[in-house]
Chains A and B, each alone.
Chain A
Amino acid sequence: MEEELNSIVESAKRNVSAVNSRAGFEAFKAEISGPNGTLTRVMKGMGSVPKEDRPAFGKLINEAKTELQALYDNVLRSIEEAEIAERLGPSIDPSLPSYALGPGSLHPLTQIREEISRIFKQIGFTVAEGTEVETEYYCFDALNTPADHPARDLQDTFYFPDNASFGNVSKKEDERYLLRTHTSSVQIRTMLQDDPPIRIISPGRCFRRDTVDATHSANFHQVEGLYVDKNVTVRDLKAVLDYFFEQMLGKGTKTRFRPHFFPYTEPSFEVDFSSTHLAKLGSEWVEIAGCGMVEPAVFDSVGYDPEVYSGFAFGMGIERIAMIVYGIDDIRYFYQNDHRFLKQFA
């Protein structure tokens, strides 16, 4: 009996090396442990073993079973390993390049716009949007721009034919449609819709009838801000712009107000900055924005009482900021979309 068991195990050990597939394994296993297998047969002989020998015999059988099971496990593992190896193929060369598709990227103008929005959100300004097609009232009249102001000229502003009709751009009366020359029209529409306090920025596309060159584009982007509340002062305006430019252009950035003139603010200023971070510019003052306290006539046109409310507004070019921040010297890069340009900002 013991010999028989030994020979089963020995023979299994001998033959196992020939097993190299799942089917071969099943056949091999059946020959031993299957219903008619050699081991099964021996186990069936248990009945004829004298009662007193049974424990010893049982022990022998268990030992053989354990040994065979280990054999099975081993062979099965190596078969599975072989299968995986076959499925995976040869090892990879990790130095081969990754997929040819480069990373996607947001356009630098979008990135600057988003950065501006983020900075202003920190101090309570949220983004307001408006249409690119506007009417003369919201772009000029409501902003206290005189009827014969040069900005309104056909030379400088794009107009639509008198019979043009826009479904989702409302008119005040029967004024002309045009392409907005600034996003101040968003401020007017926001003030007409909401009551103070108002704290918005309005980034977006604007249009001026400029011939394209290194610093001009008929199509450009601006961001304007508006704050209206009780007791807003010139100093508050300075504080907000100082905060913004230091965040945007780096710590130590200084700003300076210069008196200027805009029809929609009084007093009006142009803002210069100087920053040691932007080496190209040195310590010179560089013009960057326009701003001022909201002109009382503008409040009149939106129905705010200038005796009760005061506020400030500011505006700047997104292209210009992007050019300064990234060191880009020609505005046309922004509109060519050469991927070698775009991917630098990925």
Chain B
Amino acid sequence: MKVSLNWLKRYVDLPEKPQEIADALTLLGFEVDDIETTGLEALENVVVGEILDRQQHPNADRLGVCRVALGNDIGEKSIVCGATNYKVGDRVPVALPGAKLPGGFKIKRSKLRGVESDGMMCSGKELGVTEDAEGLLILEGSPELGTPINDVLTDSDTVYNLEVTPNRPDCLSHIGIARELAAWYKRRLMYPEICGDHPLEERPDGQPIFSGVAVDCDEDCPLYMATVIKGVKIGPSPDWMQNLLSSVGLRPINNVVDVTNFVMHELGNPMHAFDSRDIQGKRIRVRLAYDGEVMTTLDDEERKLSSRMVVIADENRALAVAGVMGGQNSQVKEDTTDIVLEVACFKPSTIRWVSKRLGLSTDSSYRFERGIDPHSLKFATDRAVELLLETAGGELCSNEYVVGGLPAWESEVSLSPDWVRSKAGFDISDDEIESSLESLELDVATSHGDWKIGIPSHRGDLDRPIDLLEEVLRMYGTHRIPSSVVAATATTRNDSPITEFVRSASGFLVGQNFSEAVNYTLRSQEEQTLWASHVSAKELALKNPISEDQTQLRHSLLPGLLETLKLNQSRNTGATRFFETGRSFREVNGKVVEMISVAFLECSESAFRSWNQVERDDFFSAKKRVEIIAGFAGVDLDRFSIKPVNVNNAAWQEGHCSEIEEPKAGVSVRIGLMNLSRTKEMDIRGEVMAGIFSILPERLRQAKRVKFSPFSLYPASSKDLALVIDQDEQAGNVIKTVSKIASKETKGIFDLEDVSLFDVYEGSKISQDKKSVAVSMTFRSMERTLKDKEVNKAFEAIQNEIREKTTYLIRD
């Protein structure tokens, strides 16, 4: 909201500099977005001087040396000047050494072509008041010598663009802001005085012009006041009013419209004047619009109305969209003589809805949306009538038409000064609390530590002690709230398991030379279906996306990482390893779940060639990384079965990828080579090896404390076994089976420490549909060194068991 300093000064004395007032407004809670100065800025050391004579400069044809009188306090100065438009005896603005002109130009005593100059005589442009840079600004009316220039050129103004928070509708006016400043500076607020006295019985009868108001929808329009003025003469409004309206960005239109705008910005009450000739049937009806009803608003737009909108209508048609904008059909025109002035109160949510629906936000709708104090309507009407009679003439007619009642207003809040201090946490005296509240026009009745605070009707936002605490702090100055030492008690809980897990996984991947990327959570449907054909796009879609490329929740972090890789390749940054952590979303049994994901990828191709190649990720190094990451989440992936990714899954390269899906454990894993033709289509060079681990957040637990297990100090003994198995049998199963048999056969005798797989062979020595795997079993005892005999015996038993219970062939 724009607020003019000149306008504010009508209601409160404000001798402070414009910047100081901006600071005060900021500390009152009205953030100043910008300050605009029109006319002359506040300048120091620029005063009125008179040119006493002019001598030719000895070294420059175009310069003159003037003797300038600056009044008794300053005396005379000698000033070099290049202008030619002046004559001796002219009075001009003189910038003395120390002055700082608009644009930052500093004046100091200096020599010009060898002649001392003790200041500068200024042009209009140099002062920032006109565009004239050619000659000196000749001051009319012979102002006193030595007078500060701001006292001579007084048509300047400062306009603040303020942010008024939604809880303060009472401050959407100059009087509201002035009230705050008066409270801040503890000065008197001067309301506009209404001196005109128009007793009802002396007024002419308005009946032939206008005969009444009916309100159909009293919930949307609880109070409506119409006043008739006849015989107005339309013309321009006075200069002072035009200047003030222009300063806050309003275009002066005519005296009647300008008064309605002026009072709205002065007191905060939107109002509207109708040309009474255009009110058919002489009656105003406040009603809901008809579906499909059409009217043309003042901005020349044809508006289609609907049945939730409220209109001000006559017997035939809508004349205005209530609280938003008037209609062209009834606006005040050059030949208007009789007007009906509307001052009303509309329901905020209705106006908000209408304004949004029509895409039409006006000064009026803005104020109604935030709420108008119904108790303010009468004063606003009187003020407007007075200004109308003053600026447009005419006569106020009898019969004020008022529909709707004034709600009773009596509001009192109990407050104890001790409570204020206990909530603030620092000392504020009783006197200070009392004067703070009183300066805001609250009525303070102090008695025995339990005060009763009367709240005026324009402060509907104050109804609890805590609301008053805020007012006390505002008046105290929130910048003065003292700091103190933090009263830190012990931390009462640990960081969330999610935080801890992500921290560990990220630290690990950073240590493996991966760079963390952050990609958008919202992805396009196209990308989503490209990389995860089985994802039901519908389940993850937003209702109201902002753009085509961000329509749904990400199913996986990998498409984002591929985009990251692609960008880095196209910019030749040389980077090949990226990871990301974050939330991913997937559908499980018709419901979408939010999972914690860690994903990484490595590309085989770097933009840089190096003399020394680093080993690249293959499937198994990626698998190792995923296993370690799973470990940070407390998950042992060995417990789950790992399968090749479904061949229909377009994201992965068939035969070089795998997945673990354990909905019960809330775990999902993908490892492998990203689909080569897809990455190629994306213009990604090289092969991309990737891994992603996802877990339901509720499955993450705080890490358990480790329990130490003792280990044997005796030597280990090992036995190797070569097994011929079916080609499609998973080696992982063989390890599991052998482990199971071996631990069974050694149970109670000694321990099976490890079963490892050290060779896989396919080739001419065995048949084509078979492969050979070699496993090594390590045995150890807690109590003794193992004897060959007992190990051999167990080994025999293990082999027998394998022959009996499995399809594996033992190779000799």
A126 to B491, Cβ gap below 8 A? yes
A-B contact count (CB 8 A): 262
A219 to B521, Cβ gap below 8 A? yes
B466 at the interface (CB under 8 A from A): yes
Some 21 contacts from A to B, beta carbons below 8 A apart, are: A98-B612, A100-B608, A114-B503, A121-B495, A126-B495, A129-B697, A133-B585, A161-B543, A164-B543, A200-B493, A209-B544, A218-B522, A233-B425, A234-B425, A234-B473, A238-B481, A258-B479, A259-B473, A335-B519, A338-B573, A340-B571
B-contact 0/1 string along A191-234, CB 8 Å cutoff: 00000011110000101011100000011000000000001011
Select which of B29, B553, B589 is within 8 A of A258 by beta carbon.
B29
Q: Which residues of the other chain, A, contact B727 by a CB distance below 8 angstroms?
A: none
| A168-B696, A269-B478 given; A338·B483 CB < 8 A | no
12 additional contacts, CB 8 Å, given A104-B513, A117-B499? A96-B611, A103-B513, A104-B512, A104-B577, A129-B499, A167-B592, A207-B521, A207-B522, A210-B546, A238-B484, A240-B486, A266-B470
Stretch of B114-122, B165-173, B284-292 lying at the A interface: B165-173
Cβ of A253 to closest chain B Cβ, rounded Å:
12
Nearest opposing residue in chain B for A98, CB measure: B612
Nearest opposing residue in chain B for A114, CB measure: B503
Interface residues of B in 603-617 (CB under 8 A from A): 606, 608, 610-614
Cβ of A135 to closest chain B Cβ, rounded Å:
13
Q: Which residues of the other chain, B, contact A270 by a CB distance below 8 angstroms?
A: 31
A336 at the interface (CB under 8 A from B): yes
A-contact 0/1 string along B231-262, CB 8 Å cutoff: 00000000000000000000000000000000
Q: Which residues of the other chain, A, contact B588 by a CB distance below 8 angstroms?
A: 167
Stretch of A47-55, A65-73, A152-160 lying at the B interface: A152-160
Q: Which residues of the other chain, A, contact B166 by a CB distance below 8 angstroms?
A: 261
A44 at the interface (CB under 8 A from B): no
A-contact 0/1 string along B563-576, CB 8 Å cutoff: 01001100101111
Select which of B165, B492, B520 is within 8 A of A219 by beta carbon.
B520
Q: Which residues of the other chain, B, contact A161 by a CB distance below 8 angstroms?
A: 541, 543
B426 to A158, Cβ gap below 8 A? no
Cβ of B516 to closest chain A Cβ, rounded Å:
4
Bound CA span A166–B466, Å? 38
Bound CA span A200–B797, Å? 60
B519 to A337, Cβ gap below 8 A? yes
Bound CA span A234–B428, Å? 13
A309 at the interface (CB under 8 A from B): no
B546 to A209, Cβ gap below 8 A? yes
Cβ of B581 to closest chain A Cβ, rounded Å:
8
Cβ of B528 to closest chain A Cβ, rounded Å:
15
Q: Which residues of the other chain, B, contact A256 by a CB distance below 8 angstroms?
A: 478-479
Nearest opposing residue in chain B for A205, CB measure: B521
Cβ of A251 to closest chain B Cβ, rounded Å:
14
A-contact 0/1 string along B24-53, CB 8 Å cutoff: 001111010000000000000000000000
Cβ of B424 to closest chain A Cβ, rounded Å:
5
Which of A106, A122, A209 has the largest count of B CB atoms less than 10 A from its CB? A106
B610 to A132, Cβ gap below 8 A? no
A165 to B606, Cβ gap below 8 A? no
B387 at the interface (CB under 8 A from A): no
| A123-B488, A335-B518 given; A102·B473 CB < 8 A | no
B716 at the interface (CB under 8 A from A): no
A168 to B426, Cβ gap below 8 A? no
B614 to A124, Cβ gap below 8 A? no
B493 to A126, Cβ gap below 8 A? yes
Bound CA span A260–B498, Å? 33
The chain A residues found within 8 Å of chain B, CB to CB, are 96-107, 109-110, 114, 117, 121-129, 131-133, 148, 153-154, 158-162, 164-169, 179, 197-200, 205, 207, 209-211, 218-219, 231, 233-236, 238-240, 242-243, 256-261, 266-270, 293, 295-296, 310, 334-340, 342-343, 346
B492 to A197, Cβ gap below 8 A? yes
Interface residues of B in 534-581 (CB under 8 A from A): 539, 541-546, 550, 553, 564, 567-568, 571, 573-578
Cβ of B29 to closest chain A Cβ, rounded Å:
3
Bound CA span A102–B513, Å? 6
Bound CA span A318–B422, Å? 33
Nearest opposing residue in chain B for A96, CB measure: B611
| A97-B611, A159-B544, A233-B424 given; A266·B517 CB < 8 A | no
Q: Which residues of the other chain, B, contact A235 by a CB distance below 8 angstroms?
A: 424-426, 481-484
B494 at the interface (CB under 8 A from A): yes
B515 to A343, Cβ gap below 8 A? yes
B298 at the interface (CB under 8 A from A): no
Interface residues of B in 591-635 (CB under 8 A from A): 591-594, 606, 608, 610-614
| A99-B610, A207-B521 given; A124·B349 CB < 8 A | no
A124 to B479, Cβ gap below 8 A? no
Bound CA span A322–B124, Å? 46
Interface residues of B in 743-802 (CB under 8 A from A): none
Q: Which residues of the other chain, B, contact A117 by a CB distance below 8 angstroms?
A: 495, 499
B593 to A167, Cβ gap below 8 A? yes
A107 to B518, Cβ gap below 8 A? yes
B706 at the interface (CB under 8 A from A): no
B612 to A259, Cβ gap below 8 A? no
B198 at the interface (CB under 8 A from A): no
Q: Which residues of the other chain, A, contact B485 by a CB distance below 8 angstroms?
A: 239
Bound CA span A109–B349, Å? 40
The 3 closest A-B pairs by CB, nearest first: A233-B425, A235-B425, A259-B29
B467 at the interface (CB under 8 A from A): yes
B611 to A337, Cβ gap below 8 A? no
Bound CA span A87–B125, Å? 85
Q: Which residues of the other chain, A, contact B519 by a CB distance below 8 angstroms?
A: 335, 337
A148 to B573, Cβ gap below 8 A? no
A258 to B27, Cβ gap below 8 A? yes
B698 to A104, Cβ gap below 8 A? no
A293 to B568, Cβ gap below 8 A? no
Select which of A129, A236, A340 is within 8 A of B484 by beta carbon.
A236
A239 to B512, Cβ gap below 8 A? no
Q: Which residues of the other chain, B, contact A233 by a CB distance below 8 angstroms?
A: 422-426
Bound CA span A151–B696, Å? 30
Bound CA span A238–B424, Å? 10
Q: Which residues of the other chain, A, contact B543 by a CB distance below 8 angstroms?
A: 154, 158-162, 164
Interface residues of B in 374-425 (CB under 8 A from A): 422-425
| A131-B697, A159-B544, A340-B573 given; A126·B484 CB < 8 A | no
| A104-B509, A158-B542, A168-B594 given; A124·B488 CB < 8 A | yes
Q: Which residues of the other chain, A, contact B195 by a CB distance below 8 angstroms?
A: none
Bound CA span A127–B613, Å? 41
Nearest opposing residue in chain B for A269, CB measure: B478
| A167-B593, A337-B564 given; A158·B545 CB < 8 A | yes
Q: Which residues of the other chain, A, contact B482 by a CB distance below 8 angstroms?
A: 235, 238
A166 to B591, Cβ gap below 8 A? yes
Bound CA span A200–B575, Å? 37
Bound CA span A266–B468, Å? 10
Bound CA span A103–B553, Å? 31
A339 to B423, Cβ gap below 8 A? no
A257 to B474, Cβ gap below 8 A? no
B517 to A337, Cβ gap below 8 A? yes
Bound CA span A163–B276, Å? 53
Cβ of A288 to closest chain B Cβ, rounded Å:
13
Q: Which residues of the other chain, B, contact A219 by a CB distance below 8 angstroms?
A: 520-522
Q: Which residues of the other chain, A, contact B467 by a CB distance below 8 angstroms?
A: 266
Select which of B496, B515, B594, B608 is within 8 A of A105 by beta carbon.
B515
Bound CA span A233–B512, Å? 47
B511 at the interface (CB under 8 A from A): yes
Bound CA span A268–B467, Å? 10
B647 at the interface (CB under 8 A from A): no
Bound CA span A240–B542, Å? 38
B506 at the interface (CB under 8 A from A): yes
B518 to A258, Cβ gap below 8 A? no
| A106-B510, A166-B594, A197-B492 given; A338·B567 CB < 8 A | yes
A339 to B568, Cβ gap below 8 A? yes
